[in-house]
Structure 1
Amino acid sequence: MKLCTIQPSMPDSIDDGVRKSTRWIEEAAQSGADLVVFPEMMLSGYDFHLHDLFKDASWPEQVDKALTTLSSVVDRSGTSALVGLPYFLGEGQLNALVLLEPGREAVLAGARSHLPIGDRNRWGFVEPDDRLPVNFQGILFGSIFCAEVLNLDYTQGKGLERSDVILWPGVCGSEYNENKDITRDWNAEFARKIASCYNVPVIQSNYLSYASEISTQTGLENRRMLGGSIACDVSGRILDQASRTEEEMRSFEISRVDSTVVVTPTANQHESESQIESHSN
């Protein structure tokens, strides 16, 4: 199976999320991908504009309409997609991944359990009933969201233990110095932490940039840089890492050898090879 991860700029609206997702699904399809994986909340973006979105009582209908549009894109392209979005439940909404497959109904594929107070109180996010992985072509894909990596104990015992691969569609900024050199690669550290916890390979889809000027400025002040989407094997060895400066699609072959699932980078750009070598040293 060929899987592609997307490292996009963050959308600032649902319409923007549909446009950007459509572009990347079509590009992934042209590359021969079976499945394309987006960051969390890709359909809407995950920034201050959510305040206004959730004040609009019609937002669930807007999400449904957007999903219908993306389902048509998936049907035409023949490539499936895991899309992050706010998933309406009635008593609140999930920070969720939804699986879109050609000719099929959208399926809830994962959702965030550990929620900051702000996500609960300001935006009305709630916890899912379980964390069971989603089956795609015989591979069980679990998911860890954003800063859940700091609270992995809270995610345990809910079904993720059955995963063959953990997807990490989380927003993550790494530390850098005045020369823009990365001084602490949180992408790598957190991916390894997830791999160690669940004893499976980890594949990240990070954003390249925020949607708001406020979040962008906060990142600059704290010297935190997005991008650098990463993949590691079960031992924590870095397999692949995206750029810190460009939108990117990264490609992987996912195969099963006996009872072990193996992740192999394929046909990726080479700008990040020095990063991979430095992680291995």
Structure 2
Amino acid sequence: MKIGVVQMKISNKIDNNILKIVNFLKKAKVDEVDLVCFPEMALTGYNVQFLKSIDMNDKILFALDEISKLVSKYSVCCIIGHPFYEGKELKNRASILFPDGRYEKYDKLYPTEIEKKIFSEGKGPLVFEYKQKRFGIAICRDQNFYNIFKEYKDRGCDGVFILAAHYYSPNEARWKIDKNRSIPIARAVENEYYVFLANATGAHFNMISLGHSLIVDKRGCIVCEADEAGEHLLTAEI
């Protein structure tokens, strides 16, 4: 099974992000990727005006429907980060879109203090199956909490995807590079499964993310890693 991890710059305009996601899906098809993961909030970014718009869900659902058509056409399972309202609660969500039209969802369990002003917490971990493999999902700060990853091990996962958008001030972004590289490695070693980190890169609303998306094997060895600034599709056979 071939896994892909996308590192991309996220725009504050949904149309720009859709175009980029479509292009990466085409590349995943060419590279014969079975399952590809995009970063946290890759579909929309953190445009607060958009997040508070009354028609946000409609725009998200339309975009996911269009992406789902390509997922079906290319036979590539896709994990994508985006916001979504459940009633009055705004969730930081990862949707898994399957080629047969099915979908599953995971909501970030541990928003940051800043995010808590906008987003509500998710309800629990998610395990999904694809092509005889089992996977778990985490979003960004969730990686700090070992209990999530231990549950995924106990439930027989072959790997865990971490969708991230490590946006900080420039100094803090530089300071936290090693921390955000080392945690996925530690989670892989602790639980003896693959960890796939899809991180954003570039500037976004006066903050910056310094990339370093990773695919880590069950021994904690880095199979492949992106640089700080580039947009990439990392792939690995598992």
TM above 0.5, yes or no, is yes
Q: Which of 95, 107, 110 is the matching residue for 1:111?
A: 107
In structure 2, relative to structure 1, the CA distance for the partners of 1:184 and 1:16 (3 Å cut) is: closer
Q: Which has the higher contact order (CA 8 A, sep 6+)?
A: 2
Which residue number in structure 1 is paired with residue 82 of structure 2? Answer: 85
* TM, length-normalised to structure 2: 0.87
Q: Does 1:126 align with 2:120?
A: yes
**Map 1:114-193 → 2, pairs under 5 A:** 114-121=110-117, 123=118, 125-153=119-147, 155=148, 161-162=154-155, 163-172=157-166, 185-193=178-186
Secondary structure of the residue aligned to 1:44 is coil
- The runs of 5 or more residues in structure 1 that have no matched partner are 217-224, 255-281
- 2:43 and 2:126 map into 1 onto residues whose CA distance is 22
Which residue number in structure 2 is paired with residue 101 of structure 1? Answer: 98
- 1:247 and 1:112 map into 2 onto residues whose CA distance is 24
- 1:241 and 1:173 map into 2 onto residues whose CA distance is 18
- 2:124 and 2:130 map into 1 onto residues whose CA distance is 18
Which residue number in structure 1 is paired with residue 203 of structure 2? Answer: 210
Letter of the aligned partner of 2:193 in structure 1?
Answer: V
Q: Which ranges of 4 or more aligned residues in structure 1 deviate by more than 3 Å?
A: 155-161, 181-184, 196-199
Identity between Structure 1 and Structure 2 (%) = 22
Secondary structure of the residue aligned to 2:83 is strand
Displacement, 1:211? 2.5
Secondary structure of the residue aligned to 2:203 is coil
* TM, length-normalised to structure 1: 0.75
Q: Number of residue pairs matched?
A: 235
- 1:19 and 1:167 map into 2 onto residues whose CA distance is 23
In structure 2, relative to structure 1, the CA distance for the partners of 1:183 and 1:7 (3 Å cut) is: closer
Letter of the aligned partner of 2:108 in structure 1?
Answer: R
Displacement, 1:183? 9.6
Q: Which of 62, 67, 90 is the matching residue for 1:65?
A: 62
Which residue number in structure 1 is paired with residue 12 of structure 2? Answer: 12
Which residue number in structure 2 is paired with residue 26 of structure 1? Answer: 26
Letter of the aligned partner of 1:23 in structure 2?
Answer: N
In structure 2, relative to structure 1, the CA distance for the partners of 1:113 and 1:11 (3 Å cut) is: same
Instruction: Find the structure with the greater CA-based Rg.
Output: 1
Secondary structure of the residue aligned to 1:63 is helix
- The runs of 5 or more residues in structure 2 that have no matched partner are none
Displacement, 1:134? 1.2
Secondary structure of the residue aligned to 2:40 is coil
Letter of the aligned partner of 1:252 in structure 2?
Answer: A
Secondary structure of the residue aligned to 1:115 is coil
Query: Could you list the per-position Cα deviations for residues 97-150 of structure 1 after superposition, in whole angstroms to 9, with x for gaps in the alignment?
Result: 111122313322x221112233222x2x22333202111112111122112223
Report if the CA contact (8 A) 1:4-1:250 is conserved: yes
Secondary structure of the residue aligned to 2:15 is helix
- Between structures 1 and 2, the one with greater strand share: 2
77-86 vs 164-173, which moves further: 164-173
In structure 2, relative to structure 1, the CA distance for the partners of 1:210 and 1:141 (3 Å cut) is: farther
Displacement, 1:227? 1.4
